[in-house]
Structure 1
């Protein structure tokens, strides 16, 4: 059996591990556009900021591919699929036959149109290790930096840049608040104040309309100097390869519960797929490392002939900026008119619980220091409960220990 996996991150590697465990004699090939072995992508901002050394990035050891007998094409692009003859065509003119194929091509950064962007001397996106290396090489104590986007990546980069430069770091965001897909206004304001105290300047409900060299012109007329300019607006599923096989697309690749696409013997997993939001029941792109890993495992099992359905496991996400933790689960900032919203706010602490018909719809907290770990534990416990009692609700809204 010949298995080919396009993509060398969480989904692709987890699928390869499952396939090797299921079949000791099969052929496994991974094709990667990047020049590196698999690394922990969520850690690249911390690497850029000098918090962790490069050796801490590697997700699997040097001998991983050799030990698992995986043939790895590095720095190689898969350009076309022939689903009838079952071949993958590569940028190096090789073609790979496959019996079953996994598309784990991930996502690519979205860069909104900006007049004159090509004139900026040091513009970057921030999704891959090569991006982190380029930014790391570009900054110093006197670097004037600007970031477009106040989502998770934008705020992570802002914090790490402040570890380098003595200058204020400017963040431009079209939405009226930070982390607009995770936080509501109250939570965003607490985080904003904490980050402003650390030298991050926010330009909300704003965008970059024109670039003149290292000068950024904003919608409101502000002009920002920027030796380094980073776009962290969001990502889009990398579906270009799937389109060559006429696979069904709905923003991302459409898969069933077995990670099967509309094409026979072709599977997909990770950031490239469209899945179903467990709260709203609507199509959604869920870009989480842990979700991609689990989807890859599911795909690998089904590719190996083990019938397995993927069932999303609710997870608590905890990410900190300058020691302020944003803790969320499910649809954290949901605004369902039929839901009951419970909130508590203290000076630098915030809790929000959304409940509908006795069922949790969303959990959100802003917390600091030792309290944060207690909140995370409470949220995880709450996700395991079938219904929400008054005692549990009170505990979720309490400031914590």
Structure 2
């Protein structure tokens, strides 16, 4: 029997079994004698931090993690710095096999899950056969969308930027390269562009839209990003895409849809992600772009939760379902969902945020923008010469999101206003509030002697 992913489900009692005592109930004795088996599909940030939290809260639990990559957890946020050449490979790893062994977490790498039976509560692996679960976490993440253009399939030196192996391939190729082409108008496209330019390559950045983050930034914001990119020596090509690739003496000739041509040593592609939910087709699991959950990260299937990039969860702050494809969200999801998998009933409450460098500046995206909520109305403040930009998004009298480029002053105030849902009559007054100095932390009260 399935259950609804709608918000507001009633609370249930939390059950924990940490060993038998004189007051241990029969149920606790049974749980201790037969430890709960938690199966986690995916060993990214959400899966690994969920496993870590489960072990902290339940010493007797049996924890199995399954992933098709050959690596233990590595920090995807660190891959751009690794690509830039400012971070050593070993610093990208977050956990090693010794950590998993010490914490009695059965990690099965290079293992693909090809079927889940929610009625029988089993997961089928290749290789490895079938394993049963008591409680299941789906943290499968997403895979990069490939470039679909003539000449792209099997082309050498054509890279996405989602996996460690892809980053390693680019790092190996950079010393032999002079020219790089990047396609993609989102953060993956930016990260590739910035890394190639930092490495001294002649870098061409192609975007299919009229400016960077075209669904969230307006023309003024797009101009600020253009100026920052040009300051870094990047060649920008808007309203342009790759029509086809041709192999030429160990290089790739890139032919654009609007007249762009270049012979490149490397081509990077950032065209978004497709969530890994194919194996759940026809199972009754509720999916949309990702796996639908309520605010407790529960799916519509009994004893099944979802977390991380793939979780399309009900957000009690924005009062809508959405995904948050950031490292911090995945980490926090993992720690939070573990408590609920052990019987807690706590809603996940967090304003979605993403912060990144932007060439020699910074960008921060908070809450909901017009990309997720087209009906949101925006007010803007821009300074081209210092390259500063603020765009605030409102639904009615509530601030629901913001984008800051350049100075990050006021970021904490923005998050407070979004999370508190404070009514705002004069929208432009928020800019004045953000310009006020941050209050210093209160000094601790003196302890009487």
Query: Which residue number corresponds to residue 269 of structure 2?
Result: 231
The count of aligned residue pairs is 395
Q: Counterpart in 1 of 2:388?
A: 349
Structure 2 match to 1:207: 241
Question: Counterpart of 1:298?
Answer: 336
Q: 1:317-367: per-residue Cα shift (whole Å, max 9, x none)?
A: 331122211122123457866746243434222222234443213222221
Change (3 A) 1:8 1:337: closer
How many Å separate the matches in 1 of 2:81 and 2:272? 19
Q: Which residue of 1 aligns with 2:138?
A: 103
Is residue 265 from structure 1 mapped to residue 303 from structure 2 by the alignment? Answer: yes
Q: Structure 1: how far apart are the matches of 2:210 and 2:104?
A: 50
Q: Secondary structure at the match of 2:71?
A: coil
Change (3 A) 1:206 1:287: same
Matched, 1:115 2:115: no
Question: Which one of 170, 173, 177 corresponds to residue 138 of structure 1?
Answer: 173
User: CA offset at residue 5 of structure 1?
Assistant: 0.4
Ranges in structure 2 where 5+ consecutive residues have no aligned partner: 1-35, 439-449
Alpha-carbon distance in structure 2 between the residues aligned to 1:300 and 1:396:
38
Offset of 1:70 from its aligned partner? Answer: 0.3
Relative to structure 1, the CA distance from residue 309 to residue 398 in structure 2 (aligned partners, 3 Å threshold; closer, same or farther) is: closer
Q: Distance in 2 between matches of 1:375 and 1:301?
A: 33
Q: How much has 1:154 moved relative to structure 2?
A: 1.0
Which residue of 284, 307, 326 maps to 2:363?
Answer: 326
Distance of aligned partners of 1:280 and 1:336 in 2 relative to their CA distance in 1, 3 Å threshold: farther
1:58 to 77, 93, 96: 93
**TM-score between both structures, scaled by the size of structure 1:** 0.90
Deviations 1:356-392 (A, max 9, x none): 443213222221xxxx343434434544552447696
Q: Secondary structure at the match of 2:69?
A: coil
Matching residue of 1:70: 105
Quick one: structure 1 residues 84 and 364, their matched pair in 2 at CA, closer, same or farther if it must change by over 3 Å?
A: closer
For residues 281 and 217 of structure 1, what CA distance do their matches in structure 2 show? 44
Report what 1:395 is aligned to.
Answer: 432
Distance in 2, matches of 1:281 and 1:378, equals 20
**Cα distance, 1:82 vs. partner?**
2.3
279 and 215 in structure 1: CA distance in 2 versus 1, 3 angstrom threshold: farther
Number of the residue aligned with 1:125: 160
Residue 182 of structure 2: SS of its match in structure 1? Answer: strand
Does the CA contact (< 8 Å) of 2:224 and 2:384 recur in 1? no
Q: 1:221 aligns with which of 259, 266, 280?
A: 259
Partner of 1:173: 207
SS of equivalent to 1:139:
helix
SS in 2 for 1:257: coil
Distance 1:376 1:308, change over 3 A: closer
The structure with the larger Rg is 2
Describe how 1:273-288 pairs up with structure 2 within 5 A: 273-276=311-314, 281-288=319-326
Query: What's the CA shift for 1:43?
Result: 1.3
Q: Would the alpha carbon gap of residues 74 and 365 (structure 1) be closer, same or farther in structure 2, given more than 3 Å must change?
A: same
Taking the aligned partners of 1:303 and 1:384, their CA distance within structure 2 comes to 25
CA distance in 1, matches of 2:186, 2:307: 23
Range with greater deviation from structure 2 (254-263 or 33-42) = 254-263
**Which residue of 376, 393, 402 maps to 1:363?**
402
**Counterpart check, 1:86 vs 2:125:** no
Does the C-alpha gap of structure 1 residues 325 and 137 become closer, same or farther in structure 2, counting only changes over 3 Å?
same
Moved more, 60-69 or 5-14: 60-69
- Shift of the alpha carbon at 1:111? 1.8
Displacement after TM superposition at 1:21 (Å): 2.1
Contact 1:191–1:324 (Cα < 8 Å) also in 2 = no
What is the root-mean-square deviation in Å for CA atoms of aligned residues?
2.6
- What is the rounded CA distance, in whole Å, between the counterparts of 1:80 and 1:119 in structure 2? 28
Q: Deviations over 1:208-256 (max 9, x none)?
A: 1111121111111222212211211101111023236342211211112
1:28 equivalent to 2:67? Answer no
Q: Secondary structure at the match of 1:101?
A: strand
2:27 is matched with: none
* Partner SS state of residue 63, structure 1: helix
Matches of 1:266 and 1:247 in 2, distance apart?
A: 9
| 8 Å CA contact 2:402, 2:414 repeated in 1 | yes
Alpha-carbon distance in 1 for matches of 2:83, 2:381: 36
Which residue is equivalent to 2:24? none
Please state how far the C-alpha of 1:396 moved relative to its aligned partner.
4.7
- Work out the CA distance in 2 between the residues paired with 1:395 and 1:186: 20
Q: Quote how far apart the aligned CAs of 1:50 are.
A: 0.9
Cα deviation digits, residues 11-58 of structure 1 (max 9, x gap): 111211221122111100111111111111111111111121223222
In the alignment, structure 1 segments of 5+ residues that lack a partner are none
